Amino acid sequence: MATPVHYRLGGFPPKKDDIDFNRLSALAGSANLALGRYDGSLESIPNTDILLSPMVMHEAASSSRIEGTNITMSEAFRIGVGADENIEAAKRDDFEEVWNYREALNFSTQEIREGKPISLHLLRQMHELLMRGVRGHDKSPGAFRDRQNWIGRPGFGIENAEFVPIPQEHLQSGLERWMEYLRSTEEIDPLVQMAIIHFEFEAIHPFKDGNGRLGRMLIPLFLYQRGILGSANFYMSDYLEENREEYVDKMRAISRDGQWTGWCAFFLEGIVRQASISRRKAENIRDLHRKVQDQALTATRSPSCRKRGRVHLLQPLLSRPSIHLASGNTETDGAENSECFSQREDHRHIAPRQRPATGNPCLFVFVEYRRRKRDLLNTQGHDSQLDPIERGGEGRRSR
């Protein structure tokens, strides 16, 4: 059994000499450019909270899978809209963890939007939401740990651990140093700072459970709080899950040997990759949405729907992604007409149903829209698809 790796006391924050910024400079430039391009694409999307909500669910599922859940995006959507007759109970439990992640991320985003920055109090609130009613609900949700923890195989003691986080007696001071560093605006590059923030949170491991998910959740929140992105819609879990062994090895190398540069390079490369992939996904969702808007407005032939506006018309579809959209009623919004939502897999595009009393179209089926959004979200892309400027840069690791 290998010797456990222990938290490196006195190693945070890293000194300037601990990181080779000459090696990271080109890669950091590519990462900042990729994020800028992604943020620019978000500006062309009306109401990102609605249109990109499936990306939040996708991130929740990916981040939770790193921690051992086993649920696909398709299964999560089906459970979310009640179409889960043939889905096993264990998948429903996994869905609750995914849903909690989504709720915690949305809550913290709104807190920052209202001027309440990331704080230890907000972390505890996020943790309470994350652990509510799921595995780990008995491990003090919303409270920092009160005893030493460790990472290792189930049933093994601390002497056989893979990693031992910051000692319990240093937990509070470690959290205070971490928070002071997060709030600093004097670092050389905010994306390198974010890589360090993410690592240190995982190394401190302040809660009894849920630390990995919270640490990944902090990435979009930091970018949003610092104004690097106009919304908290950037996610790293797909990259970290795909490179899970390297993800863990690079973090362990800091605690064992102080190898900050390799970790930062790995993290920046992930930003470049995920920003490019996310930009394509967002632009494809935007283009698909515009196409379906036009088809929907044509199919309804309803002045009231046109008057309410395109985003308003499709809002029920985006919040209930399985589905049909009720329309043609000047007094009741389709989103409130829950009895009008049903499933039909035999239509590929918008297909009006007839209201028996009047013969006017009442329900509109958007099955192809749902399938296309699912496909867009599940497509990760490859390095060959990245923009040329996003493939280059010194310090980029070869595969």
What does the pLDDT look like over 226-236, one tens digit per residue? 999 998 989 99
User: Does position 376 have pLDDT exceeding 60, yes or no?
Assistant: no
Euclidean distance between the first and final Cα of the chain, in Å? 30
Q: Which residue has the higher pLDDT, 348 or 156?
A: 156
In the chain, ranges of CATH 1.10.3290.10 domains: 5-281
Q: Which residue(s) pair with 5 in the sheet?
A: 163
What does the pLDDT look like over 39-85, one tens digit per residue? 998 887 776 666 666 676 677 677 767 766 666 666 666 666 565 66
Rounded to the nearest integer, the mean pLDDT of the chain is 77
Look at the block and give the residue holding tokens 């950091």. 28
What gap in Å lies between CA 46 and CA 203, rounded to an integer? Answer: 38
What gap in Å lies between CA 220 and CA 235, rounded to an integer? Answer: 6
Average pLDDT for residues 344-364, to the nearest whole number? 40
Q: What is the pLDDT of residue 202?
A: 97
Contact 54, 84 (CB under 8 A): no
pTM reported for the whole predicted model: 0.75
What gap in Å lies between CA 287 and CA 41, rounded to an integer? Answer: 11
DSSP state of 13: S
Contact 276, 387 (CB under 8 A): yes
Count other C-beta atoms under 10 Å from residue 4's C-beta.
15
What secondary structure does DSSP assign to 145-212, as a single string?
-SS---BSSTT--GGG-SEE-S-GGGHHHHHHHHHHHHH---SS-HHHHHHHHHHHHHHH--SSS-HH
Q: Which residue has the higher pLDDT, 368 or 190?
A: 190
> Measuring CA to CA, which residue among 107, 154, 158, 151 is closest to residue 128?
107
Q: What is the pLDDT of residue 63?
A: 72
Q: Which residue has the higher pLDDT, 154 or 164?
A: 164
What is the bridge-based pairing of β-strands 361-365 and 324-326?
antiparallel
To the question of domain 5-281 being in CATH 1.10.3720.10, the answer is no
Using only C-alpha atoms, the chain has a radius of gyration, in whole angstroms, of 23
Strand order in the sheet with 352-354: 324-326, 361-365, 352-354
Residue 120's H or E segment, with its range, is helix 120-131
Q: Which residue has the higher pLDDT, 241 or 127?
A: 127
